[in-house]
Structures are given as structure tokens and as C-alpha cells.
Structure 1
Amino acid sequence: MARRSFDTPCRIAIEQSEAHFHAHVELAGDIEIGPGDRVRVHGEPVQVRFGETIEFQRTATVTRAGPLRRGWTRLAAYFDLSELYEVSFNPGSLR
């Protein structure tokens, strides 16, 4: 049941403009992240001005979820997804 953690390099891309507003983290080596896993990127906070795009390298710690947390996360995600079933994208009222 113990957690397994390891450090890995990562690339961070941040953009704030009229067309895009995003922050992406790509882990080196195409590491798969599963339900319940955690990723923590190390380093100082970054500020991006409007109209600016930056990319830089950092180190991230990946903590693998144990079987109990992985199962709980999958179960919770299933019920969160079912909330979308109550949303209607049709104009007007339902009959």
C-alpha cells in the first residue's frame, strides 16, 4: 500500500493571449499518468504577461497511486461523469 514516487524532467509550455490560455506539462520519457497518480512540478511560480508564450524545463515528482486510491478515483470519476447526463444542449424545454 506504500506510495511509489520518482523525479523526472518535464517541459512546461504556458501561453496567455486572445487565442489561447493554457499551461501544459509534458513529462520526459512519455510517462503514463493513471487515475489517482499525482504530479508536482518543482520551482518558483511563473507569471506570464498577456500576449506572451514561454517554455522552460523543470523537475517533477510523480507519485503513483496505490490500488485503493486508484479504485476510489475511478469510482468517483464515474459518478462525476454521470452528472453530465442531466445537462441538455437543446434549446427550449424538455417534453
Structure 2
Amino acid sequence: MMPQTFDMPCRIAVEQSDAHFHAHVELADNIAIYPGDRVRVHGDPISVDFGESATFERMATVTRAGPMRRGWTKIAAYFDFAELVEVSFNPGRVR
């Protein structure tokens, strides 16, 4: 049971400013990515100076997760999320 792998074009939007610091990858044809899937963008490393934004066109390799990896990723994500949630059972206000 080999994972399904395919190449496709993608667009990378990068911004580095005092308001935004991000890099977003959009796959062609709005291909959906599911838990456990992997996307590898090809090409040289991208760098933008502070206060600038840029868009790049590249190729990406998408590797679909099998059923076991997808299930494991969902379980692991649940426990990672649970670490972020702090619940208090104190009767009253927190001081």
C-alpha cells in the first residue's frame, strides 16, 4: 500500500511587516489537504526583506496519507490541542 504522490503547481505568498509575518501555499485547482498529508515545495529558499511582500510560482509534491497515518494524525492532534486548553473548576473568580 504505497502512498499516492503527485506533482502540481503552487503559489506562495510571503509577507514580512509589522502587521503580518506569514507564508501561505496555495495549490493549483484548490486541491484539498487532509490530516497526515505532506506537501513539499520545490525550489530555492525564499527570503523577503522587512516591510515587503512577494508572490512566487513553484512546483510542489503532494503525498497523500494512508488510512493509518491519517488516523494517527487525528489522534495526535487531539492530544496536542488538549495541551493548549486549560480548564479551571474553581467556584468563583480567579484572583
TM-score past 0.5 threshold: yes
Q: Percent identity?
A: 68
For the pair 1:80 / 2:80, whether they are aligned, the reply is yes
In structure 1, the partner of 2:28 is: 28
Alignment RMSD (CA, Å):
1.6
- Paired with 1:81 and 1:18, the residues of 2 have a C-alpha distance of 28
Aligned residues between the structures:
91
Correspondence 1:1-95 to 2 at 5 A: 1-86=1-86, 92-93=94-95
In the alignment, the residues of structure 1 paired with residue 21 and residue 87 of structure 2 have an alpha-carbon distance, to the nearest angstrom, of: 26
Structure 2 unmatched runs, 5+? none
Within 2, Cα distance between the matches of 1:20 and 1:86? 28
- CA deviation profile, 1:3-34 (whole Å, cap 9, x unmatched): 11000100010000111111000000110000
TM-score, reference length from structure 2: 0.88
Distance 2:85 2:18 in 1: 32
Unaligned 5+ segments in structure 1 are none
Moved over 4 A (4+): none
Q: TM-score scaled to structure 1, two decimals? A: 0.88
1:46, distance to aligned residue in structure 2 (A): 1.3
